[in-house]
Amino acid sequence: MKVVVSAMGESLSAEVSPIFGRCPTYVFVDTETMEFEAVPNPAMSAPGGAGIQAAQFVVSRGVQAALTGNVGPNAFNVLQAAGVQIYPVSAGTVQQAVEAYKGGQLHPVSGATSGLGGGMGMGRGMGGGVGRGMGRGMGMGAGPWGAPVMPPSTGARPSEEEISELKEMAQSLQEQLDQVLKRIEDLEKKE
């Protein structure tokens, strides 16, 4: 079976990305042989619609499952329409995620895990949304309207790790902002 993992790097030892649509890399893995191909996300820098473009890209590669952090509603709908199951992964490496999937330790979601209508998100709690949905935000948590709440700096973490987490949070917020702006645009067209 072929799965895709949203990743921060280009190997099986790369960390899983907490976001789907704007992750740096997709690692496509054959679950039987563990052979893989790492491909840069062509939608990562898209000005809008990154989730949809990313989902269409991974669907075109013939995957049956996506192992990832937060998935917005638009990406979720594209993946669901193509029959691709989405399995939330909050931490670990690409290899650990695939092994957890193969071992039956991951369970598919039935809705988006970030953005409008998505609940409080999965992963490190960076996703968020207004409305219905399931969620297990962990780590940073969510404030009003599902906005991530920045943890206080303890000084105990290396600054590179904190910078990396803040960049991931900024990417997630940008994806959510893009979705909100698109929704506003859609609603204004209907008036």
Domain boundaries of the chain, sorted by first residue: 1-191
CB 70 within 8 A of CB 39: no
pLDDT of residue 103: 94
Q: What is the architecture of the domain spanning 1-191?
A: 2-Layer Sandwich (3.30)
Torsion-angle region of 99 (φ positive above 0: left; ψ -120 to 50: alpha; else: beta): alpha
pLDDT of residue 24: 95
Quick one: the chain helix, strand, coil %, rounded to 5? 35, 20, 50
**Over its length of 191 residues, how does the chain's per-residue pLDDT go in tens digits?**
999 999 999 999 999 999 999 999 999 999 999 999 999 999 998 888 889 999 999 999 999 999 998 898 889 999 999 999 999 998 899 999 999 999 999 999 887 776 543 333 333 344 444 433 333 333 333 333 333 444 444 455 555 655 656 676 677 677 777 777 877 887 888 77
Which of 171, 183, 119, 164 has its CA nearest to residue 146? 119
